[in-house]
C-alpha cells in the first residue's frame, strides 16, 4: 500500500466533513498546527500571530513540540481522521501532494492571484506549493540545510585557525577540539538529526547529481554504490566526534552547547541561527556559518509552508486567507526570517537588512539554482514522501547506534527499506 492509499484509508474511516469550530469572535479564528517551539522559533512564529491578530482575527496556537515535525504530523493525522482538522498546518514538500490528493486542502488561488504569488515566487517554490495546478499552501521561508555552525572562540582555544572546507579538515578540527577537552560536534540523538548529517555527507561525497539520484529518484545503483559505502564510512567517523550521551537530545540543546562554548561545531540547517539570534549573538563575530565541508556550491533547501484545510465557517475562511496573504508581505518576510534564520521566499527584498549568513544563503541559493545544484532536503521532507523518508531514517539511525555496523552493507539495507516503503 503506498503512502497516499494509507493516508486515504485512515481518513476515510472518519467523516470528511470537519466540525466547524465556533469562532471566538465575529471575525473568525485560525487554528495553526506547527512545531516551532524552541526559543528562536517561538520568537519567529509570534510575528505571524501578531500580524493576524492585528487584522482582528483570533489565532489559536496548536504547537506540537518535536524538531522537524514528526510529532506534529502524527497529531495532525489524528485530528483529520477524527473529522476535526485545524484551519492551517505546517505541511511541506511532497507531503502537500498527498494531502491534496485527499481533497482536504482549501485552494488559495484567489489570494495568490490578488497578491501576485506567481510573480513573486521562484518556479521551484511555486510548484512545491501547488496541487493539480492550484495553490494549496503558502510558503514562508527558505532554509538552507547544508551548514556547519562554528564557535570561533572555542576554535581559538583548541588552536584551530580556519573553518574546515573538506571532510579531512573537519576531522582534523574534530581531533584538536577533542584533545582540548571540547565536544567537537554537538548533536542530538534523533533520527531526523542523524539524517541531516547523513544527507550533508551524501551531498559532499556524491555531489548534487548523486544526491538527486539517491534521494529524489531513489536509484538503486546509486544507493548501493561504493560511493555510498564511503558516505557511511564518513558517517561512522563523524559519530566519533559526537557525545555518546546524545540519545533523544533536541537540536536546540545541541546548538546551546556550541553557543555556551562547550562544543565547537554543529551540522544543522539555519534554524540553528534562530537560537544564536535569540541569545543575542552576532553572525560573523560570535559565530560562523560555512557550508557543510565538501558541499560548497550546492544547496539543500527546506521550504516551510502553511497549508489550509477546507472549512465551512466564513469567518474562519477569512482568517485563513488573511494568514496566507500576510505570509508573503514584506513586513512579515523581513521580521520572521530574521528571527527564524531563514531567507525570504520572495527574491525582491533588500538583503542588506539581513546578517552575513542570510546574505550568503541567498547568494548561494541563486547560484546553485542557476548551476542546477539546488536540491530538496530529504531529512526535512522535501525530497520524498514521509514513508520513504522514514525508511531512510531507520537505516541511518540504526547504523549510527551500532558501533559494529558495516558501512559496505548499509546502502543495500537502505535500498531494500525504501523499496518496501514505496
Ligand atoms: C525543520 C523545519 C524548520 C525547523 C526545524 C527544526 O524541518 O523546516 O522550520 O523548525 O525543522 O524543528
Is the CB of 143 within 6 Å of ligand 1? yes
Q: What separation in Å is there between the alpha carbon of 350 and the centre of ligand 1?
A: 24
Q: What is the share, in percent, of the chain residues with pLDDT greater than 70?
A: 94
Going by alpha carbons, the residue nearest to atom 8 of ligand 1 is: 304
- 380 Cβ inside 6 Å of ligand 1: yes
Indicate the top mutation candidate among 39, 47, 68, 95 to test ligand 1's pocket, ranked by most ligand atoms within 8 A of CB: 68
Domains of the chain and CATH, by start: 29-142+303-369 (3.40.190.10), 147-301+373-421 (3.40.190.10)
Res. 2: pLDDT tops 80: no
Q: What is the pLDDT of residues 4-30, one digit of tens each?
A: 555 555 555 444 444 444 444 559 999
Q: What is the mean pLDDT of the segment spanning 198-213?
A: 98
Q: Is the CB of 295 under 6 A from ligand 1?
A: no
Q: What is the pLDDT of residues 114-133, one digit of tens each?
A: 999 999 999 889 999 999 99
What's the whole-number mean pLDDT along residues 145-168? Answer: 98
Q: How much is the average pLDDT of 343-350?
A: 95
More confident residue, 302 or 370: 302
Query: Quick one: pLDDT at residue 347?
Result: 87
Read off the pLDDT of residues 369-407 as tens digits, 9 standing for 90 and up. Answer: 999 999 999 999 999 999 999 999 999 999 999 999 999
Whether 341 lines ligand 1, by a CB cut-off of 6 Å, is: no
The CA distance from 90 to 304, in Å, is 7
Q: Which three three-digit cell numbers place residue 175?
A: 581531533
pLDDT score, position 376: 98
Q: pLDDT class for 196, splitting at 50, 70, 90?
A: very high
Q: What is the pLDDT of residue 179?
A: 98
| pLDDT score, position 14 | 45
pLDDT of amino acid 26: 59
Q: Which of 72, 277, 302, 378 to mutate to test the pocket of ligand 1 (most atoms within 8 A of CB)?
A: 302
Average pLDDT score over residue span 177-203: 98
Ligand 1: atom nearest CA of 67 is: 12
Instruction: Say yes or no: CB of residue 34 within 6 Å of ligand 1.
Output: no
Residue 325 pLDDT more than 90? Answer: yes
Report CA(337)–ligand 1 centroid distance (Å): 13
How many whole angstroms separate alpha carbon 3 and alpha carbon 25? Answer: 38
Q: What confidence score (pLDDT) does residue 13 get?
A: 46
Mean of pLDDT values over 36-53 = 97
pLDDT of residue 254: 98
Q: Say if ligand 1 is within 6 A of residue 35 CB.
A: yes
- Residue-wise pLDDT tens digits, 227-279: 999 999 999 999 999 999 999 999 999 999 999 999 999 999 999 999 999 99
**What percentage of the chain has pLDDT greater than the value 90?**
92
- How many whole angstroms from 87 Cα to the centroid of ligand 1? 20
pLDDT score for 209: 97
Q: What is the pLDDT, as a whole number, of residue 21? A: 46
Q: Is 199 in the pocket of ligand 1 (CB under 6 A)?
A: no
For range 208-220, the mean pLDDT: 98
Which three-class secondary structure string do you get for the chain?
CCHHHHHHHHHHCCCCCCCCCCCCCCCCEEEEEECCCCHHHHHHHHHHHHHHHHCCCEEEEEECCCHHHHHHHHHHHHHHHCCCCCCEEECCCCHHHHHHHCCCECCCHHHHHHCCHHHHECHHHHHHHEECCEECEEEEEEEECCEEEECHHHHHHCCCCCCCCCHHHHHHHHHHHHHCCCEEEECCECHHHHHHHHHHHHHHHHHHHHHHHHHHCCCHHHHCCHHHHHHHHHHHHHHCCCCCCCECCCHHHHHHHHHCCCEEEEECCCCHHHHHHHCCCCECCCEEEEECCCCCCCEEEEEEEEEEECCCCHHHHHHHHHHHHHHCCHHHHHHHHHHHCCECCECCCCHHHCCHHHHHHHHHHHHHHHHCCEEECCCCCCCCCHHHHHHHHHHHHHHHHCCCCCHHHHHHHHHHHHHHHC
Report, as an integer, the average pLDDT of 349-370: 96
Amino acid at each position: 500500500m503506498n503512502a497516499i492509499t494509507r493516508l486515504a484509508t485512515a481518513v476515510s474511516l472518519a467523516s470528511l466533513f470537519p466540525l466547524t469550530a465556533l469562532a471566538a469572535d465575529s471575525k473568525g479564528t485560525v487554528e495553526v498546527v506547527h512545531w516551532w517551539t524552541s526559543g528562536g522559533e517561538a520568537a519567529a512564529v509570534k510575528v505571524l500571530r501578531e500580524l493576524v491578530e492585528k487584522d482582528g482575527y483570533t489565532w489559536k496556537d496548536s504547537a506540537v513540540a518535536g524538531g522537524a515535525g514528526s510529532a506534529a504530523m502524527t497529531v495532525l493525522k489524528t485530528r483529520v481522521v477524527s473529522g476535526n482538522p485545524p484551519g492551517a498546518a505546517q505541511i511541506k514538500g511532497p507531503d502537500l501532494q498527498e494531502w491534496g490528493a485527499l481533497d482536504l486542502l482549501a485552494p488559495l488561488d484567489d489570494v495568490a492571484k490578488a497578491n501576485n504569488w506567481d510573480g513573486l515566487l521562484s518556479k521551484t517554490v511555486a510548484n512545491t506549493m501547488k496541487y493539480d495546478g492550484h495553490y494549496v499552501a503558502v510558503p514562508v521561508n527558505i532554509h538552507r540545510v547544508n551548514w556547519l555552525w562554528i564557535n570561533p572562540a572555542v576554535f581559538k582555544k583548541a588552536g584551530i585557525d580556519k573553518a574546515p572546507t573538506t571532510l579531512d579538515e573537519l576531522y582534523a578540527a574534530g581531533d584538536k577540539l577533542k584533545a582540548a577537552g571540547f565536544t567537537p560536534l554537538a548533536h542530538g540523538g534523533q533520527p531526523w538529526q542523524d539524517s541531516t548529517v547523513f544527507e550533508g555527507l551524501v551531498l559532499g561525497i556524491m555531489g548534487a547529481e548523486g544526491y538527486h539520484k539517491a534521494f529524489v529518484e531513489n536509484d538503486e545503483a546509486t544507493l548501493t554504490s561504493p560511493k555510498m559505502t564511503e558516505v557511511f564510512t564518513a558517517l561512522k567517523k563523524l559519530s566519533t566526534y559526537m557525545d555518546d550521551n546524545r540519545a533523544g537530545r533536541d537540536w536546540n540543546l545541541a546548538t546551546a552547547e556550541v553557543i555556551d562554548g562547550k562544543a565547537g561545531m554543529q551540522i544543522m540547517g539555519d534554524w540553528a541561527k534562530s537560537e544564536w539570534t535569540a541569545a543575542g549573538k552576532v553572525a560573523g563575530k560570535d559565530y560562523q556559518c560555512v557550508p557543510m565541508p565538501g558541499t560548497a556550491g550546492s544547496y539543500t533547501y527546506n521550504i516551510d509552508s502553511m497549508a489550509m484545510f477546507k472549512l465551512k465557517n466564513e469567518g474562519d475562511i477569512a482568517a485563513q486567507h488573511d494568514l496566507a496573504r500576510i505570509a508573503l508581505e514584506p513586513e512579515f518576510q523581513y521580521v520572521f526570517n530574521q528571527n527564524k534564520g531563514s531567507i525570504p521566499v520572495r527574491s525582491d527584498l533588500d538583503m542588506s537588512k539581513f546578517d552575513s549568513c542570510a546574505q550568503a544563503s541567498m547568494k548561494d541559493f541563486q547560484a546553485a539554482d542557476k548551476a542546477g545544484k539546488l536540491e530538496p532536503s530529504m531529512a526535512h521532507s522535501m525530497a520524498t514522501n514521509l514513508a520513504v523518508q522514514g525508511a531512510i531514517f531507520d537505516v541511518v539511525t540504526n547504523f549510527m547506534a551500532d558501533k559494529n555496523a558495516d558501512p559496505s552493507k548499509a546502502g543495500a539495507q537502505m535500498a531494500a527499506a525504501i523499496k518496501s516503503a514505496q
